[in-house]
Amino acid sequence: MEVWEGSPNMEAYHEMEEELLKKYHGKTAVFCNGKLAAIDDDIEKAVEKAKKVYKGKTFFIKRLFSVKEQYESLL
Amino acid sequence: MNCWDYINGVPQIPVRLMGKTTVEELGLVDCGATYCVVHPKIAKLLGLKFQGSKPLYGLGSIKSISADMANMEIEIGNLRESVEVACIREEHYPPMAPEVIIGRNFMNKYAFILDGERVCIEDKRILKEKLNKNI
């Protein structure tokens, strides 16, 4: 099973991942109700924006770094 | 049994962090981490109440770093556990590090299988029964 299967928010991110990493590298994307809800430099601000647009209480938060960048930063 | 494919060779799994907001994240499965780790800004969004701090080693640091500790419910697949999580302060959090790390204090409650292609999580008792049947 792919990690995004079963989560509309993660599926939406997966479909847009390449484009988002290219256009908004380093920013934070927030998804709600299976849609991209907000992008901002700051996690808190991105979620605040998303809450204004969507009434949902579940958010998928993804800082826009590639998997390679994220895991190499730990080594 | 819950199973997920690795992403680019990395064992990541979908997690739900339960707080005043529910946050979905991709968590890194890291058996080298004593505790589950949450980015401090995510901890703030969740409204976690810290119950002290502990010196921890890791996240690329050679010195111990102080982490604020809190209890939080984490849901992975159909499993939900309340575990102690470490919130590394932002000044010590590597800018590109994953927002959530699933450490041994969650992992040890279940049978985690990492085979280089997939992460699978099974109830320990059920896995033992399956293994005994195959012997």
A27-65 per-position pLDDT tens digit: 999 999 999 999 999 999 999 999 998 887 899 999 999
Residue contacts between A and B (CB atoms, under 8 Å): 83
- Look at A7 and B24 and tell me if their CB atoms are within 8 Å: yes
In one-letter notation, the amino acid at residue B71 is N
A55: three-class secondary structure by DSSP: coil
Is B19:B72 a contact under the CB 8 Å cutoff?
A: yes
Q: How many CA atoms lie within 13 A of B34 on its CB side?
A: 9
- Domains, chain B, ordered by start: 2-134 (2.40.70.10)
Model ipTM value: 0.92
B4-55 per-position pLDDT tens digit: 999 999 999 999 999 999 999 999 999 989 999 999 999 999 999 999 999 8
Residues from chain B that touch A65, judged by Cβ atoms under 8 A, are 96
B23 shares contact with chain A (CB less than 8 Å): yes
CA distance A33 to chain B (A): 12
Domain assignments of chain A as residue spans, ordered by start: 1-56
